Amino acid sequence: MKKRKLGRSNLEVSAVGLGCMGMSFGYGPAADRQEMISLLRTAVERGVTFFDTAEVYGPFTNEELLGEALSPFRGRVVIATKFGFKLDPNGGPKWVGLDSRPQHVKQVAEASLKRLRVDAIDLFYQHRVDPEVPIEDVAGAVKDLIREGKVKHFGLSEAGAQTIRRAHAVQPVTALQSEYSLWWRSPETEVLPTLEELGIGLVPFSPLGKGFLTGKIDENTTFDSSDFRNVVPRFTPEARKANLALVDLLAGIAERKKATPAQIALAWLLARKPWIVPIPGTRKMERLEENIGAAAVDLTADDLREIESATSKITVQGARYPEHLGQMTGR
């Protein structure tokens, strides 16, 4: 597996990482723990060195899963986790708001270190921008943790250009995690140029459009009742039917390249910038192999022009989040 550096930092990771949320949370019932441990360890054997989790996934169970699965590989893998949600004080499975107060950030770090079974968190992201806490205070809290040796790198998630600049001035930001794919290209306007200027890496989550760009979902697909795609406007049957035009485009190029639509979608991201590292998630061994294979797919300048020209004529239907979640992005 090829390696990439996240921006101008010295954090080197596999060109394709692994998003682990869906193993415990979000996409229906949690998967079998032993199967996921096996999947995570296979990923390391296949060259994946970058794993993404968060305290809120479960909550807590996803970090515990990674802590157990990856403990034999300490020093060989990079684990990113996140802070910034306020969890249900009664121990329920839901978060009840945002909380990036410095004191809370430090408490989360201590707890995550134990669950992940590590001495330092490789990359610690603010999960969502907290409008109640100045980003300078958040960056300062992580700076303290870095000084104490408990965190190695600071990251932001779904933050806008202004927030990124303000945070970076206090504590250099190594990576921004944001949704970015052929069906969500909003970061290209302001965020990508800001990252390039400041030397910050981009870690696209949902690089396969929450599974849609794989070509395995159509307007007749049904999801488990606990799958959050049930409430996503972009996943209404009408939107899915309209958005298949994008999948058809990928399938055509995939056929020519002897690849799959998912591999073309990931290869497109990898071709955008050398400091972009997508983190597709999966629970299936064959999908893991497929996603890893994307790093070897070479899209030519002509391929990229063809994708650009064709996608410019396709308008993706449906909002990417329900309204109450769509507001949780920083400026």
Cα-Cα-Cα-Cα dihedral sign, residues 252, 255, 258, 262? positive
The pair phi, psi for residue 75, each rounded to 5°, is 95, -20
Strands 3-5 and 12-14: antiparallel
* Catalytic residue flag (residue 180): no
Query: Which one from 27, 57, 125, 180 is the annotated catalytic residue?
Result: 57
In the three-class reduction of DSSP (H, G, I as helix; E, B as strand; rest coil), residue 96 is classed as strand
Q: 7 is written with which tokens?
A: 């921006």
Do residues 112 and 106 lie in contact, with contact meaning Cβ atoms separated by under 8 Å?
no
The pair phi, psi for residue 146, each rounded to 5°, is -65, -40
C-alpha–C-alpha distance, residues 273 and 207, integer Å: 14
Do residues 288 and 46 lie in contact, with contact meaning Cβ atoms separated by under 8 Å?
yes
Of 260, 300, 306, 299, the closest CA to residue 280 belongs to 260
What positions carry a catalytic annotation? 57
